[in-house]
């Protein structure tokens, strides 16, 4: 068992697809929350293999894309300082702030470094005691234990030159916000497997009950995703709204208690702006009081940077499947993968980016995954 090849088997994928086809008797709109799942869906062409009745709406689950504009602007300001080594995951460098991105800051002489792990940034702080080392701590619950450990270690090792610029987001409040929107079309959720590997499943039954939607904890390989869809459709057809765990090999109900303890020790819940979406209450984490002296926002006095996001694009509506990307005036003109306006175009798996590519390919309709709401589909709830 290597846990990858086995879950890519085409013959088993066909069985799951047949089963989904046989089960779905009417249209259902499911949202996969996690960008990693969206990546896998596009990468393997799963969206095109599903029966007509099952529509996938790509959710706001890319932490890079939802990091709010003012935090990016803070990052840019800090990264440009001559005393700073600014460390980030690679996918953050291309995301535009108000007037530039981290690549641009680097080209202007900023010391911006791509790291694989927050511990690599910590190591840079140890080796460069005369410099300030700042790590851009973004991510969902999956990444929080790693970032928490980095700052915890910095405290233990007395590395006062290490700080975090934190923009952590949490999934359950986002699901809650999406389901609370009046025009919401989402009828079932594929919850993010690796988030649940850390946090467990305890937060979901209440959400499923309150919004009357099935939630299926889902993995990332093709068979995992198909199984998540199969179970969600099964619940929907039966009119049930339960929580299922279709990723049991990596998700225990209680999550990872050691990781959760570390998160609780280091972070505290806060409200958070999501780029393109707006403020979602209690949807983020920031450094707790005890670790506030490792908070880059305070250390570099950028806490006051506030940026209004001009209303140009309609990514929020696309994210919910309320409009198709081509209905946005900016699509394909002002907004392309090369010059993205919003989250759904920044990420190569975003609905707008996928739509853009396929439109170029065929001159016509988009892939099913980036597909438009169909008139005859009646949102539930």
Partner 1 sequence: MADLATEAARDATKAPADAAGTPVDPANWTCPAPLRDQPLVVMGHGGGGALSAELIDQVFTPAYGNPTLATMADSAVFDLGGARLAFSTDSYVVRPLFFPGGCLGDLAVNGTVNDLAMSGARPAYLSTAFVLEEGVELAVVGRIARAIGSAAEAAAVTVATGDTKVVESGHGDGVYVTTAGVGLVPDGVDIRPQRARPGDVVIVSGPIGLHGVAIMSVREGLEFGVEIASDTAPLAGLVAAMLAVTKDVHVLRDPTRGGLGASLNEIARASGTGVRLRERALPVPDEVANACGFLGLDPLYVANEGRLVAFVPRDRAEAVLAAMRAHPHGTGATVIGECVEEHPGMVVVATGLGGTRVLDLPLGEQLPRIC
Partner 2 sequence: MCLAVPGKVVSIDHSADPLTGLIDFGGVQKQACLEYVPEVRVGEYVIVHVGFALQRLDEESARASLELFEQLGLLDEEFGDAWEQAARQESGSEVR
**Contacting partner 2 within 29-58 (CB under 8 A):** 34-36
For position 375 contacting partner 1 by CB under 8 A, the verdict is: no
Q: Which of residues 160-189 bind partner 1 (CB under 8 A)?
A: 173, 176-178, 180-183
Q: What does the block give as tokens for 191?
A: 């919850």
Q: Is 100 in the site for partner 1 (CB under 8 A)?
A: yes
DSSP state of 7: G
Distance CA 289, CA 227 (A): 42
Distance from C-alpha of 370 to C-alpha of 319, rounded to nearest angstrom: 10
Q: By CB under 8 A, name the one of 357, 365, 379, 380 that touches partner 1.
A: 357
Kindly identify the residues of this chain, within the stretch 65-104, that bind partner 2 according to CB under 8 A.
89
How many residues touch partner 2 under the rule CB under 8 A: the total is: 64
Note whether 252 binds partner 2 by CB under 8 A. yes
- 228 part of the interface to partner 1, by CB under 8 A: no
43 binds partner 1 (CB under 8 A): yes
State how far the Cα of 26 lies from the Cα of 20, in Å rounded to an integer. 11
For 120-134, give one letter per residue: b (16+ CB within 10 A) or e: ebbbbbeeeeeebbb
Quick one: how far is CA 250 from the chain centroid?
19
Residue 339 in contact with partner 1, rule: CB under 8 A: yes
| DSSP annotation string for 243-299 | EEES-TTT--TT--HHHHHHHHHHEEEEEEEETTTEEEEEEEEEE-GGGGGGBHHHH
Helix (H, G, I), strand (E, B) or coil at 365: coil
Nearer to partner 2, 112 or 305 (CB): 112
Q: How far is the CB of 244 from partner 1 (least distance, A)?
A: 23
Which position among 248, 282, 312, 334 is part of the footprint of partner 2 (CB under 8 A)? 248
Closer residue to partner 1 (CB): 270 or 326: 270
CA separation, residue 342 to residues 206, 252, 337 (Å): 31, 35, 10
Residues at the site binding partner 2, with contacts judged by CB under 8 A: 1-4, 6-7, 9, 12, 14-16, 18-19, 22-23, 34-36, 61-63, 89, 116-120, 139-140, 142-143, 145-146, 149, 153, 192, 194-195, 197-198, 201, 204-205, 217, 220, 223, 227, 231, 234, 242-246, 248-253, 256, 258-259, 262
């Amino acid at each position: 068992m290597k846990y990858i090849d086995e879950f890519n088997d085409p013959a088993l994928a066909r069985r799951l697809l047949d089963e989904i086809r046989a089960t779905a008797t009417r249209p259902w709109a499911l949202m996969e929350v996690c960008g990693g799942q969206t990546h896998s869906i596009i990468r393997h062409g799963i969206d095109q293999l599903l029966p007509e009745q099952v529509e996938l709406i790509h959710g706001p689950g890319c932490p890079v894309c939802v990091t709010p504009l003012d935090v990016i602007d803070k990052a840019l300001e800090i990264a440009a300082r001559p005393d700073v080594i600014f460390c980030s995951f690679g996918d953050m460098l291309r995301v535009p702030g108000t007037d530039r991105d981290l690549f641009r800051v680097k080209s202007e002489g900023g010391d911006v470094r791509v790291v694989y792990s927050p511990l690599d940034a910590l190591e840079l702080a140890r080796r460069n005691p005369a410099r300030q080392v700042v790590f851009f701590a973004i991510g969902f619950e999956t990444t929080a234990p790693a970032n928490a450990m980095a700052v915890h270690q910095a405290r233990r090792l007395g590395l006062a030159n290490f700080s975090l610029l934190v923009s952590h987001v949490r999934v359950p409040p986002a699901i809650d916000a999406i389901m609370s929107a009046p025009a919401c079309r989402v009828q079932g959720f594929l919850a993010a497997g690796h988030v649940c590997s850390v946090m467990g499943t305890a937060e979901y039954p209440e959400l499923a009950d309150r919004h009357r939607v099935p939630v299926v904890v889902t993995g990332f390989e093709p068979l995992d995703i198909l199984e998540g869809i199969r179970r969600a459709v099964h619940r929907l057809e039966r009119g049930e709204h339960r929580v299922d765990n279709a990723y049991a090999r990596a998700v225990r109900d209680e999550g990872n208690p050691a990781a959760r303890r570390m998160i609780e020790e280091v972070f505290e819940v806060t409200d958070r702006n999501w780029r393109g979406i707006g403020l979602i209450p209690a949807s983020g984490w920031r450094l707790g009081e005890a670790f506030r002296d490792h908070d880059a926002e305070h250390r570099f006095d950028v806490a006051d940077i506030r940026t209004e996001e001009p209303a140009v694009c309609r990514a929020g509506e696309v994210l919910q499947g309320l409009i198709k990307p081509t209905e946005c005036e900016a699509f394909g003109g002002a907004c392309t993968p090369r010059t993205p306006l919003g989250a759904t175009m920044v990420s190569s798996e975003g609905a707008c980016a996928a739509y853009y590519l396929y439109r170029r390919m065929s001159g016509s309709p988009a892939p099913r995954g980036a597909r438009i709401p169909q008139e005859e589909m009646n949102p539930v709830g």
